Amino acid sequence: MTDTTLTIPVHYLNQIANYLDSIGSSKERWLACVGLTYEDVVGNHKTLDFVHYRTLICDAIRLSGQPEIGLLVGRGLSINSHGMLGLALLNCSTPRQVLDFFSRYMATRTPLVKLDLEQCQGGLRVHLTECIPLEEIKQTFLEAVMMTLTKALHVVVDEPTIITHVRFDFPEPEYGPLYRSVFACEVEFNAPTTALDVPLAMLDMALPLADRHTLLQAQEFCEQELDRLQTVQSTSSDVKQILIAQREHMPGLQEVAKTLNMTPRTLHRRLQGEQTSFQQLTDEVRFSLAKEHLHYQRMPIKQLAYLLGYADVANFRRAFKRWSGLSPQEFRKNHSAQVEKKRG
């Protein structure tokens, strides 16, 4: 395993790239910062780890100057943007089945959030739940997913009142009025959960585009994709996600093994079977995080070393030189020079 272990599909990055291009920002330069090309994201065959994915989303916000970019890109997605899941949704027989399919196969589109369905008074509540802490991209990502889900429901069901209420578990941003415009229903902020409500009276209404044969074909493909993703998801990927999510207090082998419901010995054996080790994965995560901070933040080297769990800054400098062939200062200086050269 290397620090480019990949876990997140690039679905929808081409739509973000096209949006940036439409407002005058270079999509090629945006993607190049994590080693991708536009052909990579159009093909939808590449994947990214969370660190690089988060870097892309943060850069998209910065380059566009539009913190509401999640809403804007989500609003622009067509049902065809969702691949075979979109085809399945178009051929569902009821709104209840649409939501059930979205919940069951959400992981084929993104592993970062899941949909939980709750029967409540007056209808069905669809909760958006983070699978790992999304941190600084949480608001943008949840906006995009909520907008995507809302638009898909409106396209498939074609009823303006199919959604009565949307809730977000964060404060209202300065562009709050845009929410009320794009969702066209009651919008609540600082809610206990991020969710939307579908009224009971509409859950089982017959949908005119339903086709059972096409639905079964699309479902079979979604099941195959789900099986493939679950097979690909390795123990080392799970470990790296935990290390990234808890990077401010990076856990040790025993703590990570407990999180994965296995003994340290079992975790060690599984990682050996994947030709890696816990220490190697820790180093890879530290190197990825270090590069990200050196690229995009002016944090002092000493503070960065402590952030990554090094009590002695000299040990961090030695480790970084072993990883990259450069000292942290040289790495930052080289990156700054490359940025200035591109601007020139």
Number of other CB atoms surrounding residue 165 within 10 Å? 18
- Same domain? 246 vs 195: no
The answer to the question of residue 71 being in a domain is: no
| pLDDT, mean of residues 157-168 | 94
- DSSP code at position 11: T
Confidence category of residue 342, pLDDT binned at 50, 70, 90: low
Confidence category of residue 6, pLDDT binned at 50, 70, 90: very low
| Helical packing angle, 50-64 and 138-157, nearest 10° | 80
Interval 262-305: pLDDT, tens:
889 989 988 888 788 999 899 888 888 888 788 766 788 988 88
The answer to the question of residue 206 being in a domain is: yes
Task: Select from 232, 231, 254 the least CA-distant residue to 242.
Answer: 254
How many domains would you assign to the chain? 3
Look at residue 117 and give its three-state secondary structure. Answer: strand
Distance, CA of 66 to CA of 59 (rounded, Å): 11
Tokens of 199: 């009224």
Distance, CA of 199 to CA of 326 (rounded, Å): 59
Q: Which domain holds residue 25?
A: 1-65
Identify the residue with better confidence: 23 or 209. Answer: 23
Interval 86-124: pLDDT, tens:
999 999 999 999 999 999 999 889 989 999 999 998 899
- Same domain? 143 vs 169: yes
Q: Tell me which of 14-23, 130-139, 220-229, 231-240 is least confident.
A: 231-240
Mean pLDDT of all residues in the chain? 88
pTM, two decimal places: 0.70
- Same domain? 18 vs 35: yes
For residue 149, the surrounding DSSP H or E stretch is: helix 138-157
- Same domain? 119 vs 149: yes
Interval 209-264: pLDDT, tens:
899 999 999 999 999 888 777 665 678 878 887 888 777 778 899 999 988 888 89
Query: For residues 68 and 173, is the Cβ–Cβ distance under 8 A?
Result: yes
Distance, CA of 275 to CA of 262 (rounded, Å): 19
| pLDDT, mean of residues 162-189 | 96
- DSSP code at position 107: G
Q: Cβ-count burial of 160 within 10 angstroms (0-12 exposed, 13-18 middle, 19+ buried)? A: exposed
